[in-house]
A and B are shown apart, each in its own frame.
Chain A
Amino acid sequence: NAGVTQTPKFQVLKTGQSMTLQCAQDMNHEYMSWYRQDPGMGLRLIHYSVGAGITDQGEVPNGYNVSRSTTEDFPLRLLSAAPSQTSVYFCASSAPWTGDYEQYFGPGTRLTVT
């Protein structure tokens, strides 16, 4: 299993541009989520999904959209990038209904908005 994969690893955007951060998992996990981590801080939850077709907002959802059309993929869309969205973005997945409460994190996408 590849686990949780994220692309791209690095991205530089100009203010106002839009882009999609990709996240995929091959563990058949029903739960997926997106976090952001600013320098020197802990992770903060942006959006999460408890299954295909179901998404909800986390702690810091403004400026981001998500969709979950398949179990495997959970893309994060930045609608109009702002310098405040410069951060490292982590995707995670889990399968709590199986009794495994561990969250598996991807390697992260480092985004800079100029």
Chain B
Amino acid sequence: DAKTTQPTSMDCAEGRAANLPCNHSTISGNEYVYWYRQIHSQGPQYIIHGLKNNETNEMASLIITEDRKSSTLILPHATLRDTAVYYCIVRHNNAGNMLTFGGGTRLMVKP
């Protein structure tokens, strides 16, 4: 699976959009971009995933660049409950249940 690079930490004001970047320059054509988050001491929680098109669900939006070498997770109106570590993971969808977690981005939402 391709390696990802994320900033170690970011701050965001409550109510504003949080934009979390991820670089995955070695991604191959059949690898997907997944985002999970881990709120303190809890198990990771799935947020969203995509292949090449932008995706949106009730939690977030995922913007993938045309060359697929980077992506951005957008939380449109961050709340204090969104404070967590956010993991960007690149994997094949035939990789079963193998997720390779990097260090992630620690997002702090401030009032």
**Interface membership of A82, Cβ < 8 A:** no
Interface residue ranges of B96-110 to A (CB < 8 Å): 96-104
Chain B residues closer than 8 Å to A96, beta-carbon distance: 93-94, 96-97
Q: How far is the CB of B90 from chain A (nearest CB, A)?
A: 13
Chain A residues closer than 8 Å to B94, beta-carbon distance: 96
Interface residue ranges of B37-52 to A (CB < 8 Å): 41-46, 49
Interface residue ranges of A73-114 to B (CB < 8 Å): 88, 90, 92-94, 96, 101-108
Q: Which residue of B93, B99, B100, B102 contacts A103 across the interface (Cβ within 8 Å)?
A: B99
Chain B residues closer than 8 Å to A45, beta-carbon distance: 98-100
Q: How far is the CA of A93 from the CA of B45 in the complex (A)?
A: 12
Chain B residues closer than 8 Å to A61, beta-carbon distance: none
Chain A residues closer than 8 Å to B101, beta-carbon distance: 35, 42-44
Q: How far is the CB of B97 from chain A (nearest CB, A)?
A: 4
Q: How far is the CA of A4 from the CA of B93 in the complex (A)?
A: 21
Q: Which residue of A31, A88, A92, A101 contacts B49 across the interface (Cβ within 8 Å)?
A: A101
**B-contact bits for A36-62, CB 8 A (1 contact / 0 none):** 000001111100101000000011000
Residue of A nearest to B42 (CB): A107
Residue of B nearest to A48 (CB): B97
Q: With contacts A42-B104, A101-B93 known, is A48 near B98, CB below 8 A?
A: yes
Number of chain A residues whose Cβ lies closer than 8 Å to a Cβ of chain B: 28
Residue of B nearest to A58 (CB): B98
Residue of B nearest to A105 (CB): B43
**Interface membership of A71, Cβ < 8 A:** no
> Does A105 contact B97, Cβ atoms closer than 8 Å?
no
Q: How far is the CA of A102 from the CA of B49 in the complex (A)?
A: 9
Q: Residue among A31, A43, A92, A106 with the most chain B CB within 10 A? A: A43
> Does A94 contact B97, Cβ atoms closer than 8 Å?
yes
> Does B43 contact A106, Cβ atoms closer than 8 Å?
yes
> Does A105 contact B49, Cβ atoms closer than 8 Å?
no
9 pairs from A and B in contact (CB 8 Å cutoff):
A42-B101, A48-B97, A50-B97, A58-B98, A92-B97, A96-B96, A96-B97, A107-B43, A108-B41
